[in-house]
Structure 1
């Protein structure tokens, strides 16, 4: 239910205008209800129905229906009076840059006052403008009402469905352009990716260093133990190395020494590689890899296989985006 924030209403410097807004809002709702009822009463079938079942109501209202324009002009005179008062206040306080801007900005107030059938219903725009102004000044909160939540839910659902279809159509068109080998692919490769090779190298270098520091450094001892065990197991499965233990006197010693040396060498190599990746010295290595994937446009002629791989990568990325776009978030809000 719509509630009025009385504290904001009392503390506002426009209390008089807000009271006028509430009065105009009540008169507009009454006038629109009167217009709708008179429009319904205008059907002959409705008049006959009332004459049969509610003759007193029909006989009392029929003279009002015949003089409807007169009663409507009473409302119009009140609305126009309020309009000119606000216009004069806008001129006095210089709300707008020119004195004649007010009727153009509030055109719906003027047009709605024209006592012509279809134009009368434009008065509902004035209702919307008053409600919006009261909401903007936090006198009322229309977002808490059920009718607002109802219409807002279906509006958001409609806009999501519409925007999703447009985005999917655009992304599908981009995929077709990439598959056909249009200038779009060359534009992505040469004008977008290539000029940013340095930025890509820096970003990948930092990400690799962070991943190595977070993943390897805390688990260095466990990884070394795992590598030594795996190397030891592999060496024991080696037939040629197992024959060394048959050498007289020194066979077992040589076998154990080789197993320990190989395990230590492998663990140290892996340790050094990960240490290098976890430090700033990995930048040159990452930069070389990026340069291989993004060669200079003036360099060697592009490899068809490499181009095809990049095309497939772009298409898969767009497919992933399309999959996310297809998710209907508004359905999750359904009870």
Structure 2
């Protein structure tokens, strides 16, 4: 059941128009219900059934059925009056750029007024437009209605099924293209990656600098202690260095001095490398690395057959994993969890 937001209704300053909307909504629903009932009543079997089991109602409704166009024209007169009233308001308020735009934009209102069976049901569009307008102004919230939730759920399920099939079809086509081998890889490298080499270099340089600054600088003391301990342990396991201990008088001192010196040298070298990476001077170093991975097209070596096959297999497996995930039907799990959707 839809709830009317009275506060938004008062704040809209269009209370009269919304009142007309609600009246028209009721008349349209009543009119369509009569059209449907009269269409069913038109069958002789239905008339005979009512004549036997509801003779009073049959006698009462028979004149209405025989003159149904007349009664329908009464509704049409009301609908046309409301249409021209809104058209006049649209002209006065300059809602559209030209005065004659209104009937073209609201064509379904006019066509639905034609008293022909197939065109009468275009009045459903008028109902939808009124409900949508009320929803836009937040007078009602159709998303909270059970009817909307029912149709929206199955609409989303349909769209998920449709989109999944399209995505799987596209991915299968990509797999076919990848299976053709190196021309695709060459195009990716030469036409996509290589023209953007400068951008990739700048991005990698910035990311490496950020990673070194945030990951190393706050813990460089701890890293230095760790490196010195590792170097010290490695030197103690070195057979040649351990023999220095047997030198008379100066042997232990020389061994200890060498261990400290080597540990300090290793720690300082790594510290300097990471400091360089954390600074803006790493750009040239990163550029050299990118040049190795993305050489100029005329200098790029042709990949071997095994490399191509390995890369094709890797991409194929990745796409298969994506297709397996796409095949998962989320709407089915939602249907099991939601008890309000029949």
TM-score w.r.t. the length of structure 2 is 0.86
Write the distance in 1 (CA, Å) between the matches of 2:97 and 2:78: 27
Worse-superposed segment, 161-170 or 220-229: 161-170
> For residue 340 of structure 2, what is the aligned residue in structure 1?
none
How many positions carry a matched residue from both structures?
Answer: 335
> For residue 5 of structure 2, what is the aligned residue in structure 1?
5
Write the distance in 2 (CA, Å) between the matches of 1:91 and 1:153: 40
Deviations 1:179-199 (A, max 9, x none): 314755443222221111111
RMSD: 2.7
Deviations 1:115-162 (A, max 9, x none): 222221111000001111122222222222222223223223322332
Write the distance in 1 (CA, Å) between the matches of 2:268 and 2:318: 38
Worse-superposed segment, 268-277 or 303-312: 303-312
> For residue 85 of structure 2, what is the aligned residue in structure 1?
85
Q: Could you tell me whether the CA contact under 8 Å between 1:185 and 1:311 is conserved in 2?
A: no
> For residue 223 of structure 2, what is the aligned residue in structure 1?
223
Aligned partner of residue 302 in structure 2, secondary structure: coil
Where does 1:267-286 land on structure 2 (aligned, <5 Å)? 267-286=267-286
Where does 1:87-106 land on structure 2 (aligned, <5 Å)? 87-106=87-106
Distance 1:164 1:119, change over 3 A: same
Write the distance in 1 (CA, Å) between the matches of 2:324 and 2:168: 9
- Aligned-residue offset at 1:240: 2.8
Write the distance in 2 (CA, Å) between the matches of 1:317 and 1:288: 30
> For residue 233 of structure 1, what is the aligned residue in structure 2?
233
Write the distance in 1 (CA, Å) between the matches of 2:307 and 2:281: 28
TM-score w.r.t. the length of structure 1 is 0.88
Write the distance in 1 (CA, Å) between the matches of 2:197 and 2:315: 17
Worse-superposed segment, 179-188 or 134-143: 179-188
Write the distance in 1 (CA, Å) between the matches of 2:312 and 2:220: 39
Write the distance in 1 (CA, Å) between the matches of 2:250 and 2:65: 123
- Does 2:123 match 1:123? yes
Distance 1:238 1:224, change over 3 A: same
Write the distance in 1 (CA, Å) between the matches of 2:76 and 2:160: 41
Write the distance in 2 (CA, Å) between the matches of 1:170 and 1:239: 63
> For residue 207 of structure 1, what is the aligned residue in structure 2?
207
Worse-superposed segment, 100-109 or 192-201: 100-109
> For residue 197 of structure 1, what is the aligned residue in structure 2?
197
Distance 1:40 1:52, change over 3 A: same
Worse-superposed segment, 123-132 or 173-182: 173-182
Write the distance in 2 (CA, Å) between the matches of 1:182 and 1:121: 59
